[in-house]
Structure 1
Amino acid sequence: MFLGIDVGTGGTRAILIDRNGKVLASHSAEHAAIRSEHIGWAEQDPEDWWRAAQEAIAGALRAAAEAGHTAPVEAVGLTGQMHGCVMLDAAGEVLRPALIWCDQRTQPQCDWLTEKIGYERLIELTANPALPNFTLTKLLWVREHQPQIFAKIAHVLCPKDFVRLRMTGTYAMDMQEASGTLLLDVVHRRWSREMAELTGIPMSWLPPLFEGPEICARISDAGATATGIKAGTPVAAGAGDQGAGAVGMGILAPGSVSATIGTSGVVFAATAKPTLDPKGRLHTFCHAAPGVWHVMGVTNGAGLSFRYLRDTFFPARSYDELTSLAEQVAPGSDGLLWAPYLFGERTPHLDPNARAAFVGITASTTAAHFVRAVLEGVAFSLKDTFTLFKELGIPVEKIRLGGGGARGPLWRQIQADVYGHAVELLEAEEGGAFGAALLAGTGVGAWPSVEAACQATIRPAQVIEPKHAEAMALAYVHYRKMYPALRTIG
């Protein structure tokens, strides 16, 4: 069996798969709520991730045993939320809660980086502009506001790499995850010594780098006691959630694209070489597979928009009930639009201060309109990335849907209509944990390459054709007019 572990934002999930890609067992454990002391702040306790990981692993192993799957775990792969900044002292102890991916407090540090290094030079060095989401900006915030903590830092990790540290005692990071730190030379797949020197970050803080399927550590005696996995079991480097999720959906060749709606939303395209957006609106990262890169656009408030709507206005209703309501409204929501900027926005606006809004409310607007407008607004925001792909000549031949946005028929159809392109569903879409398990299996030779692992285990199940592309294209024109007006208001 191969074990994949996904250290997400809301919880940690563990799955066990066999060499045919069949999921033998899975289990999830929730994290404590995100701490948000001020608007735009978002922190979590790394030790809580480790607690949840232990629960998830134990639950998956127990479920596998109950189903008669008693073979040992052959290898482990990890994935998780990207960009989180875990600061550790020389003994590997956590110095403060981690600033996670959706924390937006670091715009002043981004401005400082851009002024000091230059926008174009930043993209040359790291393939990306300075954004509040990235790890480096969080380190600079701590240096400015909590110098006593900054002085004690000896190691910097991202969330899933912290869990691996607790499992193995080894400091490591994969290329895809490191691409989101703003400290990686993405084109040459190595730490950028120049970025570290320009920003005063010691190279000694940065862990050794590995390709996604490389075995970088082994379960320690303490890790075995905590997890029930045999000491010495190989652990692959893995990938950040987007890279591992793309592996789990078979997005490895140019022309293959995924659109995934989780808490955030991501449109992800594999590329054979680094493709840089001179304006920095798209992220260019190393892929989880060696010798492959990817570009992606990110909507911060995707599934989060639907959750916000439910929790704030319809707490007694389920998502399915709300979706059934939305089915009563025609495509275009009778002119009601939703700008999903609950945590600022990344693609294409790069604006941490952007704010969400409903536009077009009338006396005839019903609860059903609000729900459908949210579903459409998230899809429009992801459409912005497809618009940039076209501008930059990035091919789109097939689109596969993932995450919560792929599980309901209405949101699937809305995406096909908004993208104006057929979309595929997979026979089993298991998210980043599945991709992490494939990387682990590749690392111990179950498959000769990541591409071979995907070919052996991933099977499309359904194609959904657009039905209302013309109506959605017109609505998208109106959607694009919202952000400039909202920015003016702000």
Structure 2
Amino acid sequence: MIFLGIDLGASSVKVLAVDQEGNILGEASREYLVHYPKSNWAEQNPEDWWVNTKEAIKELISKSNIPSDKVRSIGFSGQMHGLVALDESNNVLFPAILWCDQRTTEECEDITNHFGQEKLTELVGNKALTGFTAPKILWVKKNKQELFEKIRHILLPKDYIRFKLTGDYATDVSDASGMLLLDVENRTWSQEMIEYMGIDKDCLPKLYESYEITGNLTKEVKEELGLSGDVLVVGGAGDNAAGAIGTGTVKEGTVMVTLGTSGVVFAAHDEYAVDSKNRLHAFCHSNGKYHSMGVMLSAASCLKWWVEEANKGMDFDELLNEAALSKLGCDGVIFLPYLMGERTPYADPNAKGTFLGLSMTSTRGDMTRAVLEGVAFGLRDSLEILKDIKVNISQIIAIGGGSKSPLWKQILADIFGQTIEEINTNQGGALGAAILAGVGAGEFKTIEEACTKFIKVVGSVKPIDENVKRYNKIHKIYTKAYESLKDWFELSANI
């Protein structure tokens, strides 16, 4: 049997095929655009997701010579929090408002003021953040009343693809955890939140565990994709929970660090747990348990901006080579990686990307290395909170595009002061989605069993003791920088 994992990311969709022995049979991907119509807004056209997903599946099946009748099931990994709204005819009412969109500051304040933070935590396990889905719905209600009244179905990004594949309105509890509408502890929709939002519960998709079957491919879709037989579709997961499955982050003590478009520190829990200060997200895990997660909105995207915008025309490898020549600490240059505001630990949509400590002796290499170090310091902020709430950390696994850089991995190990392990695959969410598909189809009894077959540790990067000591001192300076600039960030939002 063959299982497909669809990873609907922020800038591209990837489709991966695996078999029951843990072999990767092939992959295909397609890119699409993110639109920024206003400062701090981020949108995409859901139809772009659908068209490119279909093309990627067809390419995968063709170039990998996958028999049309051997695909047994499909799973998902999806960018979280995005709002997709359909009318009664299933037409998309407006562009999808994405996870990194920051327009909903007022709506977050309204939600928090209405419930109070303690009650909100009791209801949904998290604080109201601009990236979450519920504030987006309120924004539409306030600013696009005529469109709000036409909403009949609310979906998350990957669940729009599910709908197009199967005709079913469904989601999974890991992805739904980031909507601010889910009673995370009890894995069900929060009636109080639904009533406050002024939406009908029927507008929300049916909830499933990530490995449960939600439907089957329609006949029309199978014909278009060149598939035959009964093809199951499982719940899938939000990108980070799926990525955790794809790295084997399924037991307590294991932490996954993602150096992707956003940065994530993800710790698995057997039992429900909430940080009393709401600095971390408390979400359902895709293995039927729970996890804590810290998220920085700009991680590898900071390096992408630095290379493609600030240094347009420069060679990527040349810039990284210059960074490798820069000394630890970048000759006093510090970069705050808040290009899209920030979520953990500050939850401040007004925060801005900032270089500090520049002088006449600062080089481009210093600034490039400062970007790498600044992102690593931001990730360490989440790691420190996990330690504060007594989370056992026995293993750290790094994934994402940034983890391919040996320099960045060494910086990460030194700033964390812990070994960073490398696994035999960097497929992350796509592999996690395929594993969930295999479990849903009954090929594996448990997610843990599947992870053991697919994922192996193949190497590690150890921290250098002297570097750890020096970075500990610099991190203290880094953490003071935000507090020093917080008022300025708020003032600059009005410029």
TM-score strictly above 0.5: yes
Where do 1:37-436 residues align within 5 Å? 37-65=37-65, 72-230=70-228, 232-290=230-288, 292-436=289-433
Residue equivalent to 2:485: 486
1:390 Cα shift?
0.9
Tell me the CA shift for residue 70 of structure 1.
Answer: 6.7
Distance in 1, matches of 2:316 and 2:441, equals: 41
Give deviations 1:150-183, integer Å, cap 9, x for gaps: 0000000000000010011111000100000000
Aligned to 2:36: 36
Structure 2: distance between partners of 1:313 and 1:91: 44
Contact 1:335 1:475 in 2 (8 A): no
Q: Residue 273 of structure 1 aligns to which amino acid in structure 2?
A: E
Instruction: Give the drift of 1:227.
Output: 2.3
Runs of 4+ in structure 1 deviating by more than 4 angstroms, as ranges, are 68-71
* Mapped contact 1:219–1:229 kept (Cα < 8 A): no
Which deviates further from its counterpart, 273-282 or 156-165?
A: 273-282
Deviations 1:431-469 (A, max 9, x none): 201100000000011110111110111001101110121
> Mean Cα displacement is larger for which, 179-188 or 324-333?
324-333
For residues 85 and 440 of structure 2, the distance between their equivalents in structure 1, rounded to whole angstroms, comes to: 28
Check 1:218–1:248 CA distance in 2 against 1; reply closer, same or farther (3 A cut). same
Deviation digits for residues 29-56 of structure 1 (CA, Å, limit 9, x no counterpart): 011x211111110010111100110111
Q: Deviation of residue 418 (structure 1)?
A: 0.6
Are the equivalent residues in 1 in contact too, given 2:68–2:228 (CA < 8 A)?
no
| Residue 12 of structure 2: aligned partner | 11
Q: CA deviation at 1:228?
A: 2.4
SS at match of 1:327: helix
Q: State the 1:69 CA deviation.
A: 6.4
Amino acid of the residue matched to residue 247 of structure 1?
A: I
Tell me, yes or no, if the aligned pair for 2:69 and 2:229 is still in contact at 8 Å. no
1:471 alignment partner in structure 2: 470
AA paired with 2:22?
G
8 Å contact from structure 1 (residues 219, 230) kept in 2: no
Q: Is the 8 A contact 1:220 1:232 kept in 2?
A: no
Native 8 Å contact 2:68 2:227 kept in 1: no
Cα deviation for residue 6 of structure 1 reads 0.7
Find the aligned partners of 1:436 and 1:98 in 2 and give their Cα distance.
Answer: 22
Give, in whole Å, the separation in 1 of the partners of 2:452 and 2:317. 33
SS in structure 1 of the partner of residue 397 of structure 2: strand
**Is the 8 Å Cα contact of residues 109 and 137 (structure 1) preserved in structure 2?**
yes
SS in 1 for 2:64: helix
Q: Determine the C-alpha separation between the residues in 1 that align with 2:382 and 2:236.
A: 26
Letter in 2 for 1:53: T
Contact 1:220 1:231 in 2 (8 A): no
Report the 3-state secondary structure (helix = DSSP H, G, I; strand = E; otherwise coil) of the residue aligned with 2:394: strand
Asked whether the 8 Å contact 1:300–1:346 carries over to 2, the reply is yes
Letter of the structure 2 residue corresponding to residue 475 of structure 1: I
For 1:86 and 1:18, locate their aligned partners in 2 and report how far apart those are by CA, in whole Å.
32
Q: Which amino acid aligns with 1:286?
A: C
Distance (Å, rounded) in 2 between the aligned partners of 1:401 and 1:70: 35
C-alpha distance in structure 2 between counterparts of 1:213 and 1:339, whole Å: 38
Partner of 2:493: none
Partner deviation per Cα, 1:116-142 (whole Å, 9 max, x = no partner): 111111111100000011111111000
Rounded Cα–Cα distance in structure 1 between residues aligned with 2:61 and 2:372 = 36
Where 1:24 maps in the other structure, the secondary structure is strand
Deviation at 1:21, TM superposition (A): 1.9
CA distance in 1, matches of 2:190, 2:223: 37
Unaligned 5+ runs, structure 2: 490-495
